[in-house]
Amino acid sequence: MEGKLKVTKERYRSRVSIIVDVLKAVESEDNEDQRLTHIMSKANLPYNRFSSILSDLVSKGLIAEKGSGEKKSYALTPKGKKYVQEYEKFKKLSEAFGLNI
């Protein structure tokens, strides 16, 4: 109905989907490296949680860190891109079976 707030069933994000949200936030449409605050707002995470996930992804080689200090920027590595693709593939599989993950 028009003017009525549509209530949807919001679910908690799993750790994998949070990781993918961070990776997608890093993956820029214009292929430019992303700044920390920009990624954080896109990933919709509090700073503490975000920084621990980010450092984890950098150490695992999914995100590449460039520069230092305030000029520090981030870019998705080929390994990170592959991870996002795999996630999309398996998510599509679970949706095809009608299973919400």
Residue 9 touches other proteins, criterion: CB under 8 A: no
Give me the 48-87 binding string for other proteins, x by CB under 8 A, dash otherwise.
--------------------------------------xx
> What is the CB neighbour count within 10 angstroms for residue 82?
12
| Residue 47 binds other proteins (CB under 8 A) | no
Count of positions on this chain that bind other proteins (CB under 8 A): 18
Cα–Cα distance measured from residue 2 to residue 33, given in angstroms and rounded to the nearest whole number: 41
Q: Which of 14, 51, 55, 59 binds other proteins (CB under 8 A)?
A: 14
Specify the residue, 37 or 100, whose C-beta has the smaller distance to other proteins.
Answer: 100
From 97, 100, 56, 98, select the one nearest 80 (Cα to Cα): 56
Report d(CA 29, CA 69) in Å as an integer: 24
Tokens encoding 37: 């605050």
Residues that bind other proteins in the complex, under the rule CB under 8 A: 14-16, 86-87, 89-101
